[in-house]
Amino acid sequence: MSTYSELTQREQELLKIRRDSDTKAAQLVKMEKMLEQTKSLLDKKTESGPEKMGYQENMVADLEEKVRSSRRYRRNSLHHTQMLESQMKTVKGELVGTLDHLQELRNVLRRSQQKAEERKATMEKLAAGLR
């Protein structure tokens, strides 16, 4: 059943996105701590030379950009996860409807086969009676 495999694949994608999102969230927390530590060090080292301060400021700016980038990635991942969850619910609903319809068709087929067998038996009786 290809719909089932699509659903399983979507569920796997969803789990991967959730794991990636959790990993990025943990990285974000770690980077925020590093940023705070770096800012704290910068505040303590006001007597450092201007070249060293420039390097530290660049490092802080880089860390801040990484934090912003991670936040954007996490927001996008969460949005994508929500979209996939919504699509999965839709697919599950469609599957339920399809299964119900297939069961109805199976019942109709069984009744038709039963009637055909009854007609065949009647025809055989008639044919036997004509001989």
pTM beyond 0.75, yes or no = no
Residue 56, domain extent: 2-130
49 phi, psi to nearest 5 deg: -65, 160
DSSP-derived letter for residue 49 is: -
Euclidean distance between CA atoms 13 and 80, whole angstroms: 10
pLDDT of residue 4: 63
Q: Which of 13-22, 40-49, 105-114 shows the lowest mean pLDDT across its residues? A: 40-49
The answer, yes or no, to whether residue 53 has pLDDT greater than 90, is no
Q: Tally the domains of the chain.
A: 1
Instruction: Give the confidence band of 114 by pLDDT, cuts at 50, 70, 90.
Output: very high
The answer, yes or no, to whether residue 87 has pLDDT greater than 70, is yes
pLDDT of residue 83: 93
Euclidean distance between CA atoms 27 and 70, whole angstroms: 8
47: helix, strand or coil: coil
DSSP-derived letter for residue 48 is: S
The answer, yes or no, to whether residue 26 has pLDDT greater than 80, is yes
pLDDT of residue 17: 86
